[in-house]
Each structure stands twice: as C-alpha cells, then as structure tokens.
Amino acid sequence: MMDWTDRHCRYFHRLLTRHTLLYTEMVNAGAVLHGGTDRHLRFNEEEQAVALQLGGCEPGDLARAARLGEQWGYREINLNCGCPSERVQRGAFGAGLMKEPGLVADCVKAMRDAVHVPVTVKHRVGIGRVESYAFVRDFVGRVADAGCEVFVVHARNAWLEGLSPKQNREIPPLRYEVVQQLKMDFPSLTFVTNGGLTSDQAIAEQLDRVDGAMIGREAYHRPWWLSRWDALYFGAAPQRVEREAIEEAMVTYMIREYQHYGTPWPAIARHMLGLQHGLRGARLWRQVWSNHRLKDLPPAAVMARARAAQAMAEPDAALAV
C-alpha cells in the first residue's frame, strides 16, 4: 500500500472505524533514519491505534528505526517480507527476505531488543511458482524462534520475476488453507490472513480458522464498508454516522492540515474518493473532488460543488453496492 495509506488516508479511515488496527504504508528504515524522520513518522493522534510497517534488511538500521517508531507513539512495528516490487527487490528487502529466514530472525531479534511494543512480520505463503508448505512453515518457525508472535500472511506466493506488483496481487492463486495450516501447526502464535478478502462472509470464514484478517485495497476503494466493522468484529454499538458527516469532517481536517503544514486539499481528498461508492451520482461527486483545476478553491466550496453535482444525477445512475 505504498503511496496509499499515508496519514491522511488513515485519518479518514479512523473516522469510519474506531477499533480496527491501522497500518502505515511500508517505510524504508533507511529513509526513517536519514531522509527526514518527521516526514516519515508524523501521524495524527486521532489515528491510533497505528502500526508502523518498515522495510529493510539491516538489523541495526531496523532496530534504530523501530526505536524511533516507538518513541513517536506507534503501537506495533511490522517488518515487511511480502512486497514483490522490483524497487523493493533492488533494496534487498520485501518478499525476497523470505529466502533468508536467518536474516529475518536477526532483524526481528534486533527490533525486539530495541522496543517494548510488539514486533510482527508480514509475508507471503511462498516465493516463485513452487508451492511448498515446508518452505513457509520453516520460515515461520525460524522467525518465531527469534520472538515474533504475530504473522500477517498474504495468502499468495510472490512471483519475483515476470509479474508486476498488481499482477502479484491477482495471478498467483490464493491459498488460504496454508495460513490455516500454519495456525494448526503453531497454535500459540497469532496468524492474520491477507489477500482477496472482499466481503463480510470472506472475513468471517477466515476468523473461524485464524486470528484475524487484514484488508487492503478493497477497504481503500470501498471505505464505507469499514463503518460496519466495529459492530461486526469488536462488539461495539453500531455507529450512527452519515457519509455527509464524514465528508464534512474531512473538510475540517483539510483546513487544519493547510493551516499547520501547507498541505493542499487534493493530497487529502484523493483518499476519500470511494466514500460515495454505490450511490447515485457517485461518479459526478468523485469528478469534482478529483478536479485539480479547483485546487485554489477552499475545500468547503469544493464540497458544495460536489454535492450539487451528485444531486443532479439521474435516478438510474446508482451502482450496486
């Protein structure tokens, strides 16, 4: 979710669900240490609870970056061993780290020694086209021996050659049974399933067999889905919130961000373009909020235009939710 789940996106999502754990986009540990700590680690207190997802392969650098993350207030430090992008591969981290479980174990141990918050690992069920359960079982076992107790498992192999990151989310087959077998073989560890979960039923099926579910792009494109999660999965009373109230809260946030940091509203609005998904006039509403020719208008004025455009939509313009 690099370039997607920044602090503006997480602020928006927190308006929809109070209890779901939110993750940052993957941040290179070297960038945290040398590329502007404030820029990479700053978040809004309203976002809590937030986990910091780090990329890297140097135990010392990861330990220092994890310590900074804890100092900034992150509730969890997650090491990414699942990203298949070529840029990440050139940096010798991401999914390629699964080939070196000993190194991952050293990284986890170094981070655990540096912080008091949980250190977790996100990974794939395999590398390349070979579907070997023994490979991922031994990876988990080695990393667990270093003290990792929580594994977020994308239930697809990562094909490191011949596929783009987008294709790596679609072409390698989903193998949820692998995550479930890991839970059976390591019952004392926590396993969270990731990949291809697009409905309440799909999540419920995973929660019957493992400890949690991570949702990525589906939550981004269909964010109103999140508004039901507190009641469905955390025992909270159903929220009585309207999409218009969420939009208004985001406008207030845009004004605050501009006053404090000079952040232009389009950098924030891009994350909420799915808010009206499935409703009549959603496309017209989205077109206004994504129109950069309006960037010099106050966000409240843009909101008024977006609502007016949506109200003019034909009655049959509604989409299936």
Q: Residue 1's pLDDT is what?
A: 64
Q: CA 27 to CA 55: how far, in whole Å? A: 6
**Catalytic positions, please?**
83
Q: What is the CA radius of gyration of the chain?
A: 20
Kindly report which listed range (162-176, 225-239, 285-299) carries the lowest average pLDDT score: 162-176
Tokens of residue 258, six digits: 């501009």
Q: With CA atoms as reference, report the closest residue to 83 among 148, 163, 3, 1.
A: 1
pLDDT digits (tens, 9 = 90+) for 140-156: 999 999 999 999 999 99
Evaluate if residue 321 carries a pLDDT over 50.
no
Asked if pLDDT for residue 131 goes beyond 50, the answer is yes
Helix-strand-coil percent breakdown of the chain, rounded to 5?
50, 15, 35
Report residue 268 as tokens.
Answer: 């924030």
- The C-alpha atoms of residue 117 and residue 151 are separated, in whole angstroms, by 15
Residues 169 and 107: their CA atoms lie apart, in Å, by: 26
State residue 87's pLDDT score. Answer: 55
The pLDDT of residue 181 is 98
Mean pLDDT in residue range 81-89: 67
Confidence of residue 259 (pLDDT cuts 50, 70, 90): very high
Average pLDDT over all residues of the chain: 92
Question: Which residue do the tokens 């949980």 mark?
Answer: 118
Residues contacting 177, CB < 8 A, separation 6+: none
Residue with tokens 């978040």: 43
User: In percent, how much of the chain has pLDDT > 70?
Assistant: 93
H-type alpha helices, 211-265: 217-221, 229-233, 243-261
Residue 179 scores a pLDDT above 70? yes
Q: Is the per-residue pLDDT at 273 higher than 60?
A: yes
Cα(29)–Cα(55) distance, integer angstroms: 6
Name which of 40, 3, 8 is nearest 272 in CA terms.
8
SS3 16: helix
CB 67 within 8 A of CB 114: yes
Sign of CA dihedral 81, 93, 34, 14: negative
Least confident of 28-37, 190-199, 250-259: 28-37
- The domains located in the chain, with CATH, are 7-233 (3.20.20.70), 243-317 (1.20.120)
pLDDT value at residue 213 = 97
Pick from 213, 138, 147, 148: nearest CA to 180 = 213
Q: 188 pLDDT exceeds 50?
A: yes
Residue with tokens 């981290």: 93
Q: For residue 88, what pLDDT is reported?
A: 52
Residue that has been written with the tokens 């840029």 in this structure? 87
**Which range, of 54-63, 83-92, 114-123, 278-287, averages the lowest pLDDT?**
83-92
pLDDT tens, position by position, 206-224: 999 999 999 999 999 999 9
Residue 320 is predicted with a pLDDT of 42
| pLDDT for residue 84 | 67
CA distances from 132 to 62, 125, 173, 260 (A): 29, 8, 13, 51
The mean pLDDT value for 63-74 works out to: 97
Of all residues in the chain, what percent carry a pLDDT higher than 90? 81
- pLDDT, tens digit, for every residue of 6-22? 999 999 999 999 999 99
Instruction: Check: CB of residue 176 under 8 Å from CB of residue 133.
Output: no
* CA–CA separation, 26 and 52 (whole Å): 8
Rounded to an integer, what distance in angstroms lies between the CA atom of residue 83 and that of residue 88?
7
